[in-house]
Amino acid sequence: MSAASAAPVVVGVSPRTGSPSALRWAADYALLRQAPMVAVMAWRPPRAPAAPGGRPPGSLLSGGLPDPEHEAAEQLEGYVTAALGKGHGVECKTVRGNEVSSLLEAGAEAQLLVLGEPRPGRMASVRTGLVAPQLVTGATCPVVVMPNSAGASLTQAIESTVERAKARAAAPE
């Protein structure tokens, strides 16, 4: 299967942390599977500040607010570049909406959905507001949730497993 025809590996990127271990792990996996990789980050426009008298603040009328879609795209590109370096070859996609529906949609055609580390203790209690449990139960593809201590890359883990297998095969019985 060529990279052009392979289903992508989709990574959900947190706007809070940038999900660096998820990006690195997914990049290793995509390389091994010769699959394209798509980094997805959901964004929402900021709420307009309240104004007395029911009139919008002057900054809204004059167009003085920054473009949140452009800011999200720059933030995502920065996170991916920080984790993988320049020339990473990852498609960066920002989606207006909530995290769960955006990632479920992006993962519909994916071979794998990779999520960054949840905050400590957050996966233990499956509450309706948490992103990872909703994706694990709702996705149509396999989902990987990075552990909080994800240090080794997929490549290192595979190399370690291969070395142990070679050592066992070479050991006299």
Q: Choose between 95 and 56: higher pLDDT.
A: 95
Q: Are 135 and 115 in contact (CB under 8 A)?
A: yes
The whole-number pLDDT of residue 170 equals 80
Average pLDDT, the chain: 80
Tell me if 49 sits within 8 A of 79, measured CB to CB: no
Kindly tell me if the per-residue pLDDT of 146 is higher than 80.
yes
Q: Which three-class secondary structure state does DSSP give residue 123? A: coil
Pure H helices in the chain: 20-33, 58-62, 68-84, 99-106, 131-138, 154-170
Q: Is the pLDDT of residue 168 over 70?
A: yes
Say which residues have a Cβ less than 8 Å from residue 70's Cβ, sequence separation at least 6.
none
**Residue type for position 44:** R
What gap in Å lies between CA 73 and CA 56, rounded to an integer? 27
pLDDT at position 116 is 86
pLDDT digits (tens, 9 = 90+) for 43-52: 988 776 666 6
- Cβ proximity of 170 and 139 under 8 Å: no
* Residue-range domains of the chain with CATH: 9-170 (3.40.50.620)
**Band of residue 122 on the pLDDT scale cut at 50, 70, 90:** very low
Confidence check: pLDDT of 92 > 90 = yes
Question: pLDDT: is 68 or 34 the higher one?
Answer: 34
Would you place residue 71 in the very low, low, confident or very high pLDDT band (cuts 50, 70, 90)? very high
Q: Are 22 and 11 in contact (CB under 8 A)?
A: yes
Give the separation between CA 92 and CA 70, rounded to whole angstroms. 12
Cα 112 to Cα 52: distance, rounded to the nearest angstrom: 49
With a cut of 90, say whether residue 27 has pLDDT above it: yes
Whether the per-residue pLDDT at 124 is higher than 50: the answer is no
Residue reference for tokens 């794998």 = 112
What does the pLDDT average to over 143-170? 69
> Which stretches of 34-107 are DSSP H helices?
58-62, 68-84, 99-106
Half-sphere exposure of 133 (CA within 13 A, CB side): 11
Residue 3 scores a pLDDT above 90: no
